[in-house]
Structure 1
Amino acid sequence: MSKPKNKVKHFFRKDQAKKMVLRKPNKNIQDKSARLKEMRIPEDKIAPQRLQKILASSGLGARRDMENLIESGKVQINGKKAKLGDKVTSADEVKINNRAVKLIFPNRLPEIILYHKQEGEIVSREDPQGRITVFDRISPIKNHKWIAIGRLDINTSGLLIFTTSGDLVNRFSHPRFAIDREYAVRVNGQLTQAQMDELVMEGIMLEDGLAKAARISERHNDNENSKNFWYNIVVQEGRNREVRRIFKYYKLNVSRLIRTRFGPIAIPPRLKLGQYYKLNALETEYVLKEMGMLEYTPGRFK
């Protein structure tokens, strides 16, 4: 008889995040949101999907198993042997071991939630050290899996976005889209105007390449006698600890780092630390349009 696997012990209390309570929107907005939520995107308007991804999401097995099937030559698209990375639409015929399979394409709006991450939480599904992860805070979703868009290090708080759409994650995260990431930063010391200009105009060389700020401005001093200064900085990459390393380059230590905006989404002023907010259908449609993903917007095809 095999021994049960040892589970990682959590050394911190795991309280789930509380939902931010808002007043109900007016009836017109409620009705529009309800209609949009129930709409379906026409199949011919859905973007092509990676083969291994759509096979897995259609309930035919885990993605890794689907990748193995493709690599072993057992999957065909329109009579031709498929390969990893191939994309398919609803018009394509897909067979596994010469038997046609039914593919289920995502034809509804994805889910999006905004979470106000606290310091001390890690952005990972599991942690070998037993620390609290953001996924411990977020309630699971039926028939889907939450995906965190980007990461925040353990000592950074602020806006963390979760979604059920891998394509939306890619649109936010891939460097070619150059999506704004805005942070409020408190440092011990002060940048000169010349240093701020250098960051925006020329950039600075870090150990992993050139780093630039899209914008940077001084916010306010904690008090007249304090040596701490606050800055707003916007970067367009998701490199590891980039903002901290930028200030370290100027010999300034970051004591607080808060993400306040990611792309078109700013952290709601009423969203307290440890709380989350689920976007309604109209808000989700707005995000998709702002991110250039109109093919995922049912309202466009009324």
Structure 2
Amino acid sequence: MGSRREMERLIETGEVTINGEKATLGDRVSVSDIVKVHGRVVTLVAEEDVPRRVIMYNKPEGELCTRHDPQGRRTVFDRLPKLKGERWISIGRLDINTSGLLLFTTDGELANRLMHPSQKIEREYAVRVMGEVKPEHVKAMVEGVMLEDGMANFTDVQEFGGEGINTWFHVVIMEGRNREVRRLWESQGLTVSRLKRVRYGSVFLDKRARAGEWIELTQQEIDQLSQQAGLERRFVKDSLDKREKIDRQRKKTRAIRNVNKQYR
């Protein structure tokens, strides 16, 4: 029905009741309690009975990782499928000039764990660098560089071909601080001209989702992410058969492609 902050605000203003009594922050409820918001009964569902959904989105450059932009610029949420009674939560962010893999989930706990530095979830980026990259540059970025917000480093740096201003590298980092990949290269006097995230944990960006498109992850892929986050798998009966799933996905993909044509 809204973000945690929005719900806390409703509780504080007395808009939420439990069994006829005004709720307070920290109250606990069970599925047998009667919870109302604005006087309307809310259907309670046990957490283990709610499907854990995750989608992979291929973000183009120029989109913002925010729900609403005061200037009316396009955001990554504009193209996501609509949900009823749930909301998509972004697992990490990419700046406006960075493209590639973004994950969204309906499970806040999964999102929090996958973003938290303690889980040591790998993020892999393809980077095009302007300037001569020397072995001592790579060595420094792997061993660690002191940035304005603390030490940072890549756990791996691999050259992926090209030459001159078109030299590409793949780098792996274990956290998601603001512009961290770009700042690490800049610390060596080098400029990143293109940056694209290609992997988050066990999920690789692949051809299932072209730029500006999304795809829902399979149960196996979600289970692998859940395992990395230290969460148990949820066994939920799927109400859609295989053919209905495929038809629904095709309709959504066609709709997204039609939107893309308007901006070409």
- TM-score class, shorter: 0.7 to 0.9
Where in structure 2 are the equivalents of 1:19-58 lying within 5 Å? none
Distance in 2, matches of 1:276 and 1:208, equals: 33
Work out the CA distance in 1 between the residues paired with 2:97 and 2:27.
39
Q: In the alignment, residue 298 of structure 1 is paired with which amino acid?
A: F
Residue equivalent to 1:233:
171
Structure 1 residue 65, shift from structure 2 partner: 3.1
Separation in 2, partners of 1:67, 1:196: 52
Structure 1 gaps of 5+ residues are 1-55, 77-81
Which residue matches 2:253?
A: none
Q: State the SS of the aligned residue for 2:74.
A: coil
User: What displacement does 1:292 show?
Assistant: 1.8
What number of residue pairs does the alignment pair up?
225
One of 195, 220, 223 as aligned partner of 2:161 = 220
Partner of 1:245, secondary structure, is helix
Provide the C-alpha distance between the structure 1 equivalents of 2:51 and 2:43, rounded to a whole number of angstroms: 21
Q: Counterparts of 1:200 and 1:282 in 2: how far apart (Å)?
A: 32
The alignment status of 1:186 with 2:128, answered yes or no, reads yes
What is the correspondence of 1:114-193 to structure 2 with a 5 Å cutoff? 114-193=56-135
Report deviation, 1:104: 3.1
Instruction: Please tell me the root mean square deviation across aligned C-alpha atoms, in Å.
Output: 3.1
1:50-89 matches, cutoff 5 A: 62-68=6-12, 86=26
**DSSP 3-state at the match of 1:257:** strand
Aligned to 2:209: 271
Q: Whole-Å Cα distance in 2 between the matches of residues 102 and 267 of structure 1?
A: 36
Cα distance in 1 for partners of 2:27, 2:228 equals 25
Residue 187 and residue 116 in structure 1: after superposition, are their counterparts in 2 closer, same or farther (change >3 A)?
same
Asked if 2 retains the 8 angstrom alpha-carbon contact of 1:189 and 1:228, the reply is no
User: 1:10-56, CA deviations, whole angstroms, 9 ceiling, x for partnerless residues?
Assistant: xxxxxxxxxxxxxxxxxxxxxxxxxxxxxxxxxxxxxxxxxxxxxx6
Larger radius of gyration: 1
After superposition, the C-alpha distances for 1:229-272 in whole angstroms (9 at most, x for unaligned) are: 11111111111111111111111111100000011111123421
Structure with more relative contact order (C-alpha pairs < 8 Å, separation 6 or more): 1
**Gap change, CA 1:212 and 1:65, over 3 Å in 2:** same
Gaps of 5+ in 2: 37-41, 237-264
Residue 87 of structure 1 and its aligned partner are, at CA, apart by: 8.5
1:3 maps to what in 2? none
Q: Can you list the C-alpha shifts for 1:181-237, whole angstroms capped at 9, x where unaligned?
A: 110000101322222122222x0011111111111111111x5xx333111111111
Kindly indicate whether the alpha-carbon contact (under 8 Å) linking 1:108 and 1:298 is maintained by their aligned counterparts in 2. Answer: no
CA positional deviation for 1:67 = 4.8
Partner of 1:259: 197
Which AA in structure 2 matches 1:210? M
CA contact (8 A) 2:79 2:213 kept: no
8 Å CA contact 1:112, 1:162 repeated in 2: yes
Provide, for residues 69-106 of structure 1, a one-character-per-residue CA deviation record: whole Å limited to 9, x for no partner.
69xxx999xxxxx985x59585998999xxxx985332
Equivalent-residue separation in structure 2 for 1:119 and 1:195 (angstroms) = 27
* TM-score, normalisation: structure 1: 0.65
Return the alpha-carbon distance in structure 2 between the equivalents of residues 141 and 152 of structure 1: 23
Q: CA deviation at 1:287?
A: 2.4
Secondary structure of the structure 1 residue equivalent to 2:160: strand
Query: Which residue number in structure 2 is paired with residue 246 of structure 1?
Result: 184
1:290 CA drift (Å): 3.2
AA of the residue aligned to 1:258: K
Pair 1:83–1:246, CA change in 2 (3 A): farther
- Pick one of 272, 279, 283 that aligns with 2:221: 283
Q: Following the alignment from structure 2 to structure 1, what is the Cα–Cα distance between the partners of residues 80 and 219?
A: 20
Q: How much does 1:66 deviate?
A: 4.9
Q: Among the aligned pairs, what percent are the same residue?
A: 40
Which position in structure 1 is the counterpart of 2:260? none
